Structure 1
Amino acid sequence: MAGIAVTRKDLSVDQLRAAAARTSDARAARRMLAIALVVEGVERKAAAESCGMDRQTLRDWVHRYNAEGLSGLSNRKPPGRRPWLTPAQKAELAALVERGPDPERDGVVRWRRKDLKRRIEEMFGVVMQERTVGAQLAELGFVRLSVRPRHPKADEAAQEAFQKNFVDRVAAAIPPAARGKPIEIWFQDEARVGQQGTLTKVWAKRGSRPRGLRDRRYKWAYIFGAVCPARAAIAALVLPKANAEALSLHLAEIGSQVEPGAHAILVLDGAGWHIADDLRIPDNLTLLHLPPYAPELNPVENVWEYLRKNKLAITVFDGYPDILDKCCQAWNFFANDKTAVASITARKWAEVNL
């Protein structure tokens, strides 16, 4: 230890010992006590051994204390492994994922980890395993999600304008006889259910190929469903066809579920039977049509997805009566859960208080 002395004079021996008593870091406390002994004049070897270290280790901590003070006596967190990508590279990767692949250039219509592994190597010269690519995506906030269908003729500007101006559209649609009445917002749609059924995701062992029943015959029925999100109210019929006559029956059912004295604005798409001249519309209903090719604006579409995933997928129907029974059971499964009705169908842009 010759030539290595404690050169800092900002803390006395008593202050060093007091600092050792206060700290919760036992290793730093031992180092403070050893340096206090050195300052006090104790022989270096004895000071080191009394605090559980050798002379060379104490010499190193004296260097740190002289340079940094008490803060230098605590262990520093190891720097860890160098990140795979810099922040700028991560931002570029996130933009690439959100933009999606170019089928002509990348040869795929959706990103797989193996494709991104190749692109990361091309862009940044970084070679990583597919599992590491997945970890990078998770760190950036990406998860695997089912895509929502979008019609190629969909007009996003029209859809945005419909949502933005929805309150004004409702106000303009209210007939003179309903002015001053409470207004309810309902949504309506139909779903075909039956043979030629659907499959859904299930829990299964990694790497396995689970099998599920799927009917391949050609009988079906239609669920006509309508929901008032604000009241979690519902109205539904199961009918053999989707046409103006069937919709008229459903409109009558919806009208019977509107609160007495209120008027309902029924939002629905522009299917042919929704705009037919021979529709019979109850006096307490007014129809408001969605923009063309905009199913994502109708929350009843989410109801169909919910029912198919939970009640109607992986099913073989014995015949038409069985289809009717299963449709009714599925709708009642949804309708009897008022929390699900509200959470699945509520839309902020459709909350109207007129």
Structure 2
Amino acid sequence: MKTSVNPTSLTKTQQIQLLKDFIQSHPNEKEMRRALAVKLAMEGYVYRQISQILEVSVGFISKWKQAFESGGLAALRSSYQGGKGYLTQIERQAVIQWLVEQKTWDISDLEVYLIEQYDIVFQSRQSYYQLLKEARITWQKGEQTSPRQDPEAIYKKNREIAELLEKYRPQIEAEELVVYIIDECHLLWNDLVGYLWNFVKNPLKIPILNPKERQTYYGALELFTQEFTLVPEPTANGELTVEFVKKLLGKHPQARILLIWDGASYHRGQVMRDFLTEQNEGLLPENWQITCVRFAPYAPQENPVEAIWLQLKTLLRRFYRFGKSFKSVKRLFQLFVDLKLFNLPNFSNYDAFSRFA
């Protein structure tokens, strides 16, 4: 990304887009916080609100907004460009000792420390990983799989969905039929506990008073426009699912809708069945106001909305220091959605939707 663009030559919308692109490039935490503060200020948020959301001072917001207006993205970055590209043996031991003494670890923190202390920027990220390895700090990730997945059933269901969408392509492109891919996210306070740099046998301790506190979000990704709709609810059940579908209907009063989701009980329970009967009464299947199609069982990876939840939770973990209360966690999650700090799923990676990539 170029950082030499003079913001005074751009419209306000272009400046905000520039900041959004910069944030999505995953700069270090300090630079990301500066960019977020500036972006929120330019979007009209009150400084007091920004201060509460990001836990920064009003002076911090004013300082970096002025810096961006005068110097662009370059002004939000570290002023150091790096000098020599190596550490002496004594310096290397000092860095390892510094790593051992830290309570939290992140590649970006190590990069900033090396710049400020030794005027060094490594060309390869492997050099940073090597320092962490020598300090006996590692990155570990658990992988979950379901033994109940049926590859053949997944293949058949994806082909069925793909053929159905292709059949209705003219109506979809004419916006006579609106297709929504739907999923629910159950956000827990302990979702902050994720993948962080840490000592090999000494897990980082993140204070969480009530790990079972939760917030449910209904999410719907529109296939053709790729607009993402998010609605927070206290839980997920038949009544709230019907209310969510009604909201989607209200966005397209002149169109029919096709819902593609998993087999959750509240998607197929009596409350939803009664609602569908009421909406589609007297109509032939091809003219139904609402049509529902399910993904194959035990195959969440086939739903593109899952990729959005993953990005949002991963970003949330980078800001775990701000999650001092579950209210703060929910505020951050909503903020990330409002600012669209996620990449839209690439439909070419999903068999059911690849023809619409």
- TM-score (norm. length: structure 2): 0.47
- TM-score (norm. length: structure 1): 0.47
Larger Rg: 1
Higher helix share: 2
